[in-house]
Amino acid sequence: MSILVVGSVAFDSVETPFGKADDVLGGSATYFSTSASYFTDVRLVAVIGEDFPDIHVAQLKEKGIDLAGLKKVPGKTFRWKGRYDYDLNQAHTLETHLNVFSSFNPEIPESYKDSPFVFLANIDPELQMKVLEQVKRPRLVACDTMNFWIEGKPDALKKLLKNVDLFVINEGEAREFSGQASLVKAAKYILNGGPKTLIIKRGEYGALMFNGKSMFSAPAYPLEDIFDPTGAGDTFAGGLMGYLANTGDLSEENIRKAIVFGSVMASFNVEAFSLERLNVLTLEEIRGRFSEFKRLTHFEDI
């Protein structure tokens, strides 16, 4: 089944302890859709400027991503510049130039409106809501957000969450949004506001799933080198949603597997700058690392 993703397509300049990359392809919708493309059809809605090169468009097309919703407008593409120190869980933003992204008002093409799976990447919650108003009863709506919206538009975010099935945010944001230091309490608060399932991303510590009945903990894969964590969260969401859409199975057992597939995709993504690693994956590599996750977490029952 198809997934509609609405988010950003951007140029990133990134410095990590392992090197630097300037003006490379990035953006939440880019990472999400490339990751999900290994599992299912993806329909992308985003905005780019006149400076966006055809080669990047071709790269997304090659992954089979539907670009009917990728709009080129006068001006420059969204640019982000950031730095990571040895604590790779923490991005330090050096520059943000929203450019054409500042007037982004997502219009969902007619051919996308029946998408059974919808992922609202991190944008203004009012725009996320506008997307939902344009689509026909999806089977699953998932969304992400960030501290900027938690602080700036909490009411719009709370309204949105009433219409969201699966909410994916990071640990610090879960604490900030709920006002709870305990993630178990934070999860109760958040699930009470609408979502049936909450997934808390913890960077190199993995992810936690809450659904009000049970909890699931998935580790991150311990890697020799994490070259660049940029996009890991959206890549995770892409693998997660991709597997759910591929199987069409929304049972808790399948959501657990989907979280591991998300973790698998994120573990590849951080091995190189930009989408360098994500672009050249094989299904065999993905299945192989899934098995490594199985072994990584295995212990016998008593």
**Residue among 97, 153, 185, 196 that touches its own copies (CB under 8 A):** 185
The Cβ of residue 57 has, within 10 Å, a number of other Cβ atoms equal to: 16
**Residue among 137, 155, 222, 284 that touches its own copies (CB under 8 A):** 222
215-218/207-210 β-pairing = antiparallel
Nearer to its own copies, 136 or 298 (CB): 298
Q: Could you say which DSSP state residue 274 is in?
A: T
Nearer to its own copies, 92 or 294 (CB): 294
Asked if 155 touches its own copies (CB under 8 A), the answer is no
Nearer to its own copies, 50 or 249 (CB): 249
Q: How many residues bind its own copies (CB under 8 A)?
A: 39
Asked if 239 touches its own copies (CB under 8 A), the answer is no
Nearer to its own copies, 102 or 182 (CB): 182
Nearer to its own copies, 74 or 222 (CB): 222
Asked if 225 touches its own copies (CB under 8 A), the answer is yes
Alpha helices in 135-200 (DSSP H): 147-152, 154-161, 171-178, 183-192
Dist CA 117 CA 241 (whole Å): 8
Asked if 105 touches its own copies (CB under 8 A), the answer is no
Asked if 92 touches its own copies (CB under 8 A), the answer is no
**Residue among 162, 223, 248, 280 that touches its own copies (CB under 8 A):** 223
Total residues belonging to the chain: 302
> Is 40 within 8 Å of 108 (Cβ atoms)?
no
Asked if 161 touches its own copies (CB under 8 A), the answer is no
Alpha helices in 78-212 (DSSP H): 125-134, 147-152, 154-161, 171-178, 183-192
> Is 117 within 8 Å of 138 (Cβ atoms)?
yes
**Residue among 73, 162, 205, 212 that touches its own copies (CB under 8 A):** 205
**Residues 6+ positions from 191 with CB-CB distance below 8 Å:** 198, 210, 211, 212
**Residue among 79, 201, 202, 277 that touches its own copies (CB under 8 A):** 202
> Is 173 within 8 Å of 152 (Cβ atoms)?
no
Residue type, 269: N
Residues that bind its own copies (CB under 8 A): 17, 86, 181-185, 202, 205-206, 208, 214-219, 222-226, 253, 256-257, 259-260, 287, 290-291, 294-302
